[in-house]
Structures are given as C-alpha cells and as structure tokens.
Amino acid sequence: MPFIKIYIHLVFSTLNRKPLLNSPELRIKVWKHIKENAAEKGIFLEMVNGCSDHCHCLISLSSNQNIEKVVQLIKGESSFWINKNNLTTEKFNWQDEYFAVSVSESMIDHVRNYIKNQEKHHVQKSFSEEYLEFMEK
C-alpha cells in the first residue's frame, strides 16, 4: 500500500469576484457543506475558509486523485448546492480558474493559520492583492 502525503493549498473565487457569500452565517454553512461533501467523495479536505468572494482549502491528495478532478468535484457540487437551496440573491457560480500550490510539511501549520484567519487577513489586504502576491512567490 503506497504512502502518499501531498498537501495542496487551493484558492478559488466567485464568478467575477462578486461578494455573494456576504454573511458569516452563509459562509459557515457553505464551508461546512463543502467539507462534508468532500468527505463523502473521498477527498481529504483538512481546512476550508474564506470571505465573501473566495474560498481557501487545504487538501491532501490520495494516489488516485488529481488536482483538476478534486477541484471540479468541490466547486461543481458546491455551486449546484448553493443554487438548489437558493442561498444567494442571484445565480451562484465559482470562477473557472483556481490557484493551487503544493505545501511542504514544514509549512502546514502556517497555511492552516492563514486559512483559519481569512476574515482578519482581508481587513488589511484585498483578494486581488493577495492573489498577485501568491503569483509572485
């Protein structure tokens, strides 16, 4: 049996970065659903959090998973669920693009804290600024 430990920091935004996840209660509900759905699909999603216009996930890939398929399952099902339950005032979609980087084991705690503190972090820095910073690194 193979031993695989590949952590990925995944970030994706709402279509056109519309702030449709505009209340803490709604975000908690959506993040909880994303985590539960991922578990049902055999995706190890350790953390999920975000703001009104984007989502951060810390996932670990297994031997039979690839990033593209995992992202498709997470984003596709969650947008379907949000729309089915009329959780937003207009039709909800995630943007097609996403950001995914590997995370070394020595940085896992740092990434966990970063994801956990999204609300505080974005008081100081916009998603656009954050994204550009990720791309430069």
Question: In tens digits, what is the pLDDT along the chain, a chain of 137 residues?
Answer: 677 889 999 999 999 999 999 999 999 999 999 999 999 999 999 999 999 999 999 999 988 899 999 999 999 999 999 999 999 999 999 999 999 999 999 999 999 998 998 776 555 655 556 655 655 65
Number of domains in the chain: 1
Residues 6+ apart with CB under 8 A from 90: 18, 20
Supply the CATH number for residue 44's domain. 3.30.70.1290
Give residue 4's pLDDT.
Answer: 82
Domain assignment of residue 1, yes or no: no
Give residue 92's pLDDT.
Answer: 98
Domain assignment of residue 106, yes or no: yes
Q: Count of alpha carbons within 13 Å of 83, Cβ hemisphere only? A: 11
Give residue 122's pLDDT.
Answer: 54
Among the listed residues 91, 78, 76, the one whose alpha carbon sits nearest the alpha carbon of residue 50: 78
Range of the domain at 111: 6-136
pTM score: 0.86
**Contact yes or no for 95/20 (Cβ under 8 A):** no
Domain assignment of residue 54, yes or no: yes
Domain assignment of residue 32, yes or no: yes
